[in-house]
Every structure is written in C-alpha cells, then in structure tokens.
Structure 1
Amino acid sequence: MRRIAAGLVGLAALMGAGGAMAQGARPDQLAFREIYKELVETNTTLSAGSCTEAAAKMGARLKAAGFADADIHLLTPADHPKEGSLVAVLKGSNPKAGAVLLLGHLDVVEARREDWTRDPFVLVEEDGYFYGRGTADMKGLDAIWVDTLIRLKQAKTPPKRTLKMALTCGEETAEAFNGANWHVQNHRELIAADFVLNEGGGGRLKADGTRDLLSVQVGEKAAQNYKLTVTNPGGHSSRPRPDNAIYQLAEALLKVRAHVFPTMLTETTRIGFEARAKHDDAVGRALKRLLADPADLEAARVASTDVNVNSILHTNCVTTRLDAGHANNALPQRATAVVNCRIIPGETVEGTRETLEKVIGDPQVKVETIPPVRPIAVSPPLDPAVVGPMRALAEKHFPGVALIPSMSSGATDGRYFGPAKIPVYGVPGIFGDPDGNGAHGLNERIRVRSLYDGRDYLFDLVKVYVGAK
C-alpha cells in the first residue's frame, strides 16, 4: 500500500514535472518499459488476479538475462496458490560484505473496468503519463528492481556486495495473507540482508509542478482495524423503538469522528515539521508553535487543516465500512462498522482500542481488535552509510532539492522486518503529483519522465550500495 498515501513529512512516492513519450525514450528505457508493461498488465488483485503468475514472469526475465535457476526462487504457500512470490539473488564477489535487499509487493488494489476511463490492466501512455492499476503503487518500483538486477547481471564485473530482491504478495490485503511476513517467518535466511530498500519514500511537487522535497522513509505508522458491533432484539418496522442498533452505532461513530488523538512528535516528524514550519503560512506558523509546545491544542487544530500534516501528527482513526440490518421491513438486530486506525509510534494496538471504548462511552457498543494484529514498525537509524549516498546522488540527479527523513502514514511491508532486526528504508527518487496519482483510486497514473528519472537515480544508488561499476 505505498505508500503514496504518506503525510507531508511521510511523503508519498511522488514525481517530477514533464513527460517523455515512448518514441523519445532511450533504448534502455524502452527495455525497462517492457518489464513495466508486463507487470501492469498482469492482474494481481486478490479477487481475480495472480501474484504467482507475475512472479513467474519476472523470474523468466531474470533467467533470460543469465541468472542461474539456483538464484531464482519462486515460492508459493500451499494454501495460497495465487499469492506466490519471487526472491532472486545476485551474488557479490565478496561474501563477507553482506547483502542489500530490494523489496516490493506485486499485488494491487481492486479495480473495476466499468469505473475506469481506461482498462486498468492495460498500460496506456497518454499526455506524458502512464495509466493503469499499479502504475504508481507499486509496479513502477517493482520494474525498477527487476531492471536493476538484469543490468547488474549483464555488467562485465559483478558487484562486491550481494544484491537480493523479494517481490511478494499481500501487502494491500494483509488480512488475507502477507508474503513478506511469510518470508520473514519461514525463509529468513533467503531474505537476510544488512538493510532493505522499500517503497514509502519519494518526492513532492510544489503547486506549480516544480520539485519541492525528497523523502527517505525511516518509519511508519501501524495500521490496525477494529470492529464496532451493536446488537438488538429487533422486531417489526411498524413498531419502532428508541434503542435502534443502527442509530446507536451511528452515534458511536460520530464520537469517533470527533475525537482528536494527542499530538505525538517523533525524532523523524520533528525534522520534517521543522522544514514545513519555515513556510510563512497558517500551517507553518502553527507548526512552529506546536514544535515548541506539543500540548498547544489550537496550534494542533490549525496544523491539522493540512491533510498531510494531520496524517502523521498523531494517531488517526476513521470509519471505512458499515453493515447493518437484515430486512427492509424489520428493525435491525445487528449493526457493525470497521474503524481503521493508523497508530503513531509510541502508542499500542490495545491502548488504541481502549481509547475508542472510552471515547464512545457506551458499553453496548462492543469494540474488538480485528486479526491479524500486525507488528509495530521499527524506525531504522539515520545511518550515514545508507542516507549519505541518497543525499549525494540526489544532488546529482535533482540539484537543489532537499532530502529529509519521513514517517509514512501509510503502512508498508517494512513493518514485518522488525522482528528480524533488519532496518528498512523507503527510497527517494520518484516524484509525483500532489493528489497522490490515483493510487488505490480511479485512473491511477504516474508521469513517464518521473518514472524514468527515478529509475536512473535508483540504479545509481543501488550501484553505490553494492559496489558495482
């Protein structure tokens, strides 16, 4: 879930202005485009798609590029035949140098053809954009990882450090199955690395389309769902009674909507908010006050009017699903809702559930934590050996654009690597539109030039990490 839905400091994977049409692309970009096209046009939704098919296609590309069968691992859980994954290994010349893991998810959010302007599973290049489900979240980065392995494999000199890639399934529907978690629990040696490069970072455009900021993700909020339930004897609709399950649930949800969790500043968000506070506008001035006094409720209210700031200022809970009643002519016997919470580091899943109960203040509204309870992401250190090359190459590829650490408001598969004590960084490099590029929504898109520019930056970055020429 990419993260494209990140906060101002937890930036989405965003992109730069301009657009290069296919006919103006370099030969190496056209080769990359074919990988990208194959991924986008392979349906990997939970309902009708197959990550296993997409993983096999990428494995075939690696084999054609010279990878040995022993270095291509197509893994599929027996009870999830369509949710397979691909792990590939490019061995370094120095076995003592450790490894770097490129992580991506193959699955995408559902997309209905009747709702979209274009077929969501056909890559369309139009007016400087690539359109299609997964173009931004996150098959562009998946294609960059595959392309990077192929280019390094075909180089004359192998890298000094081992490079691994894991393309897994289930990031968007972790409640059904999550491949990254499955690998950490069952194939840890295969994906072991000194650090992981993942989605979650990116860049942001200004309103005029020029590049504003780059972000490296060094932390994320925890996603957790809660089920609210009200039950009632019900009865005939001709004999209404005051204790209606739907009304009772609706009142509880309005209380959830009105509640504002307290401001929680982390080391990462402080750095980002300090940058945003330099803007001489209402939000910038409010953030300046809030940095001095996190308990300033009025400053928090004004700062939260920026949806990006609000998304990482504190824990957020929002109702996402409703289900009630059993017949048009009957009083409801049951009403349920799902509340999705994005929990800020420092708070807990159970503590958030208790807060919801307290806010609702009605013992007849049952609040349950919906499994699975996901691990809380561990924020990695701002390691100069990792962040330094990101900053140096950003100066080369995107001169004058500041690089800042970020905390993502959206969850990624990075959270599953905490138990393995492997730090995860969301990479910068791909800039995007302020509206989030339609990720998880209709007519998802990404600018052609942005994807190509991000590919160039990320290839150079990986080369530095693995000591490739």
Structure 2
Amino acid sequence: MADPNAPAPPTDAGPRLPDAGGPVDATALDEVVRFTAELIRIDTTNRGGGEGHERPAAEYVAERLAEAGLEPRVLEKAPGRGNVVARIEGTDPTADALLVHGHLDVVPADPDEWRVHPFSGEVSDGVVWGRGAVDMKDADAMVLALVRAWARAGVRPRRSVVLAFTADEEDTAAYGSGFLADQHADLFDGCTESIGESGAFTFHPGDGRRLYPLAAGERGTAWLTLTARGRAGHGSKINAANAVTRLTAAVTRIGDHRWPVRLTETVRAGLTELAALYDVPLPDLDEPDPDRLAAAVDGLLARLGPAAGLLAPTVRNSTNPTVLAAGYKVNVIPGSASAQVDGRVLPGAEREFAATLDQLTGPDVEWDFLHHEIPLQAPVDSGTYATLRDALRHFDPEAAVVPYCMSGGTDAKQFSRLGVVNYGFMPLRLPEGFDYQAMFHGVDERVPVSALHFGVRVLDRAIRSL
C-alpha cells in the first residue's frame, strides 16, 4: 500500500500568463481539466501482445469532436482497438497540412502502489491524478479543448490540421499509428509535419532556470530476442554446451557494454545551447577519435550538472537486458535458453548496432529483432522549430528552450512512413520539484491544473502561427 504519511505532491496556482490574443476562454480551461480526468477514468490499459481496449476512449474523443462540428472517424484494426482521425480545413488551401497526434492507451498500474486509485481521475489541490495524466491523456485533452474553443470562436488555423488519437502506442503501434499509416494513408494527405509527445515540458535543473526540451528526434527501437542452443542433459553431469551458461554470458556482455559516443545533429545542437547557457567552454565535438570525443562529451556533461540529464541518455546507443527464460526443472539442463533486450539506436548508428550485437552475442547465441522501428531526426534550424520555441517563450519569457532527442520512441515513427517530420511538443509549465519524466509509467502519475491551462494556450498560439 502507498504510504499515507508521504508528502503531498507539489502544487502551483500557476503563473499569470500573457494574453494569448486568441480563442482560449474560461470554458476551454475548464474543459481541459474535465477531459483529462474523464479520459483517465476510462481504463485503456495496454498489456501488450494485442491485449488492449481503447474503443471507449476513442468514442469519447469522437463525441467531443463531433460536438465541435467535426466529422471524426473511428477506425479499428481489431475489435476494441479504437483510433480516431478528424480533419480541420485551414484557411490557406495551398499550405501543407499539420498532423497533431496523441495516443489513448496507457501502461498498467497497480492500485495498491498508488495514493489514489490510478483510474479515479481525482482532481484535488490543483492536481489531476491518474494513469495517463502525463502519458498522455492530458495532451489529448488539451487538443480537444483547443479545437472546441476554435469552433466556439469561429477560428480556423492557416494550415489544415489532421487530428489523430491512436491505440497501441505503448506496445508496437500495430493496432494504432502503424495501422493508420499502412491502411489509411489517405486520411493524412498533405501532412508534411507533425507535433506529438513528449517535449516542451518544464525541466528544473535546480539553479532557478526553467529549461524546456523541444524534441527534434528520437532513438530507434531495437527490441531483441536472444536464443542460445546447447546440449540438453542431466543436471549432475558436466556440460560444456550448457545453453543457460552461453546465454547468460552473452547477456552479461551486452549489459556491460559501453557504447561509444555518437553525436546526432539534434544532440549536438542541444549540447551547444546548454554549454552557452551555462558559460561552459565547448570541447571539440568534431573530434574524429571516438575515445577523445567520448572523454570530451562526458566531461562537458559533467560540467552541466543536472541539466545534462536532458541529453546524456542520447549521446550513445543502449542495450538493457530485461527478460530471461530457460529450463523447467532444477536437475535438467535445457537444450535452449532465451532472453530479451531493450535496445535503442541513434540516427545513423544502425549498422554499427547490428555489427556490435554480432560480436557481443558470439557464435553460440543468435539474436533477432522482436520489434524494430527507425530512429528519427528533425531540423532544429527550421521555421517550425522557431515557431514552437517562440510560442513557449511568449507564455514564459524566461524559458530556455533546448533541442533534444527522446531516448525512447513515439507514434512519430509510424507516421514518418508518410513523409511526416515530427516535433515533440505538448507543452506543460511545471512547478519546481515536479519530476515530469518520473511520472512516465511511474506510480502516482499526476499533472497540475495550471500546467494544463498553460499547455492549451501555448498549443493554440503555436498551431495558429505555423
């Protein structure tokens, strides 16, 4: 059970925000909180392996969109795996369309570990509680509240906007964005750029600054299955071809491997901006010697303090063993053993990743992809990046907006098949002491009401300015 004496979560009445000069009204601010809570109360737990049920949330979203005069379509690859797509026609028919996407599913939550029930959607002390509060029913609610505000005010964006609320992002996206990209590509005609999770949140490095990482890339997904073959036999006999021994040796090598530094353009830009912000001399980031480059980058990260946490996970590939399976009886040596590894790969490093896995697994262990998706990168010198950055700064003039690459992946990978370039931009202004990244898949997930108000205002300014 959760500790009843645990400290209360941080709350924030919220900063006084500049006038947006737009349609976001008191109704929209009320709705974004209500929609977040009501979506949380719809249990859309995705346990993987095809086990999920997003349809009730999809119907809820479709109803809210229809009330705003849109014509949403609910689409399923399998019964219960609901997705919603709708289009808002822009005022400039020559402009490329913008995709705004968010997922409806959530990871499992054990109620015994939480202070409040994870599907209660409780709103108390200025905070909305529950699974999905930041990942990412809050963002879905912000989008819903915004388009309804546009409808009330008779406002249309310059670019046509395609809205996609997806299933299955928390697993392989096969029932969600993958299905939509493969079988309903026509619904995304004209889309060249998108915004989705999970950037533009406040990161507090503890020195009074407010950093906002704006995602312009993400590492590729390389979930692996390892299989060791050996000679089955009696547990009392010496066996030089023990599959368990072969497997665990390979798993240890993989888990212990220190991947070399590989700087993508996004991470390089983030390091450069943070170094300037903290007045830290910039080392040679073009050093051809991998060992010297690693020493230079690791030294720079050490001097940046807590702010380095935004970029440190994405200067290298990574491989983390997560699952082991072997044997069925203590005195029987099995003929095979298997493991799973969560691998993440930087843009441009996929061949190196595969070659290194061949070396680490060795001759007695085979590896293959359990799930594989490409890494992504978006330009940080684009007009779109500048517009998103400026929208944040309008509502928080002291914001330091920093390019970053997400360590994990999102639905942007699937939508990239349609030629769509993605930015992670679902803004939240969070109070000091609120660890946003710890909320993802964590216990006691929650979001401040003031952050939701900030987010819907920033989204409005950003999308209508693009």
TM range (shorter): 0.7 to 0.9
Task: Look up the match of 2:184.
Answer: 187
Cα offset for 1:355? 0.9
Task: Look up the match of 1:59.
Answer: 62
Cα offset for 1:207? 4.2
CA 1:290–1:336 in structure 2 vs 1: closer, same or farther (change >3 Å)?
A: farther
Is the CA contact (8 Å cut-off) linking 1:195 and 1:424 kept in structure 2? yes
CA 1:161–1:367 in structure 2 vs 1: closer, same or farther (change >3 Å)?
A: closer
CA 1:323–1:191 in structure 2 vs 1: closer, same or farther (change >3 Å)?
A: same
- In the superposition, the TM-score normalised over structure 2's length comes to 0.84
Is the CA contact (8 Å cut-off) linking 2:102 and 2:164 kept in structure 1? yes
Cα offset for 1:280? 6.6
Output the CA distance in 1 between the equivalents of 2:90 and 2:231.
Answer: 67
Is the CA contact (8 Å cut-off) linking 2:227 and 2:247 kept in structure 1? yes
CA 1:207–1:94 in structure 2 vs 1: closer, same or farther (change >3 Å)?
A: closer
Q: 1:160-199 alignment to 2 at 5 Å?
A: 160-174=158-172, 177-192=174-189, 193-199=191-197
Q: 1:4-153 alignment to 2 at 5 Å?
A: 18-20=11-13, 26-47=26-47, 49-67=52-70, 71-77=71-77, 80-153=78-151
Provide, for residues 438-466 of structure 1, a one-character-per-residue CA deviation record: whole Å limited to 9, x for no partner. Answer: 2112222223322221222112222223x
Higher relative contact order, chain-length normalized (CA < 8 Å, sep 6+):
1
CA 1:303–1:325 in structure 2 vs 1: closer, same or farther (change >3 Å)?
A: farther
Is the CA contact (8 Å cut-off) linking 1:353 and 1:367 kept in structure 2? no
CA 1:203–1:341 in structure 2 vs 1: closer, same or farther (change >3 Å)?
A: same
Q: 1:238-277 alignment to 2 at 5 Å?
A: 238-239=236-237, 241-277=239-275
Is the CA contact (8 Å cut-off) linking 1:171 and 1:413 kept in structure 2? yes
Is the CA contact (8 Å cut-off) linking 1:18 and 1:450 kept in structure 2? no
Deviates more, 1:179-188 or 1:210-219: 210-219
One-letter code of the match for 2:325?
D
Cα offset for 1:178? 4.2
Output the CA distance in 2 between the equivalents of 1:136 and 1:157.
Answer: 28
Is the CA contact (8 Å cut-off) linking 1:437 and 1:446 kept in structure 2? no
Output the CA distance in 1 between the equivalents of 2:82 and 2:55.
Answer: 4
CA 1:94–1:303 in structure 2 vs 1: closer, same or farther (change >3 Å)?
A: closer
Task: Look up the match of 2:385.
Answer: 387
Output the CA distance in 2 between the equivalents of 1:171 and 1:147.
Answer: 22
Provide, for residues 280-326 of structure 1, a one-character-per-residue CA deviation record: whole Å limited to 9, x for no partner. Answer: 79xx67xx436253621434555677654331101111112111211
One-letter code of the match for 1:168?
T
SS of equivalent residue, structure 2 residue 217: strand
Task: Look up the match of 1:338.
Answer: 340
Q: Percent identity?
A: 27
Is the CA contact (8 Å cut-off) linking 1:262 and 1:314 kept in structure 2? yes
2:427 to 420, 426, 429: 429
Is the CA contact (8 Å cut-off) linking 2:270 and 2:403 kept in structure 1? yes
CA 1:104–1:310 in structure 2 vs 1: closer, same or farther (change >3 Å)?
A: same
Aligned-pair Cα RMSD in Å: 2.8
Provide, for residues 307-363 of structure 1, a one-character-per-residue CA deviation record: whole Å limited to 9, x for no partner. Answer: 543311011111121112112342233321111111001122x54233112124x31
CA 1:178–1:217 in structure 2 vs 1: closer, same or farther (change >3 Å)?
A: farther
One-letter code of the match for 2:269?
I
Is the CA contact (8 Å cut-off) linking 2:210 and 2:398 kept in structure 1? no
CA 1:210–1:81 in structure 2 vs 1: closer, same or farther (change >3 Å)?
A: farther
Output the CA distance in 1 between the equivalents of 2:53 and 2:369.
Answer: 29
Output the CA distance in 2 between the equivalents of 1:137 and 1:162.
Answer: 26
Output the CA distance in 1 between the equivalents of 2:372 and 2:215.
Answer: 22
Cα offset for 1:127? 4.5
Output the CA distance in 1 between the equivalents of 2:339 and 2:112.
Answer: 27
Structure 1 segments unaligned to the other structure (5+ residues): 1-16
Output the CA distance in 2 between the equivalents of 1:108 and 1:261.
Answer: 31
Cα offset for 1:135? 0.7
CA 1:443–1:329 in structure 2 vs 1: closer, same or farther (change >3 Å)?
A: farther
CA 1:318–1:308 in structure 2 vs 1: closer, same or farther (change >3 Å)?
A: farther
Is 1:445 the counterpart of 2:450 in the alignment?
no
Is 1:322 the counterpart of 2:318 in the alignment?
no
One-letter code of the match for 1:191?
F
Cα offset for 1:171? 1.2
Output the CA distance in 1 between the equivalents of 2:69 and 2:207.
Answer: 41
One-letter code of the match for 1:65?
A
Provide, for residues 127-149 of structure 1, a one-character-per-residue CA deviation record: whole Å limited to 9, x for no partner. Answer: 54322111111111111111111
SS of equivalent residue, structure 2 residue 389: helix
CA 1:81–1:131 in structure 2 vs 1: closer, same or farther (change >3 Å)?
A: same
Output the CA distance in 2 between the equivalents of 1:129 and 1:219.
Answer: 30
One-letter code of the match for 1:448?
V
Output the CA distance in 2 between the equivalents of 1:121 and 1:85.
Answer: 20
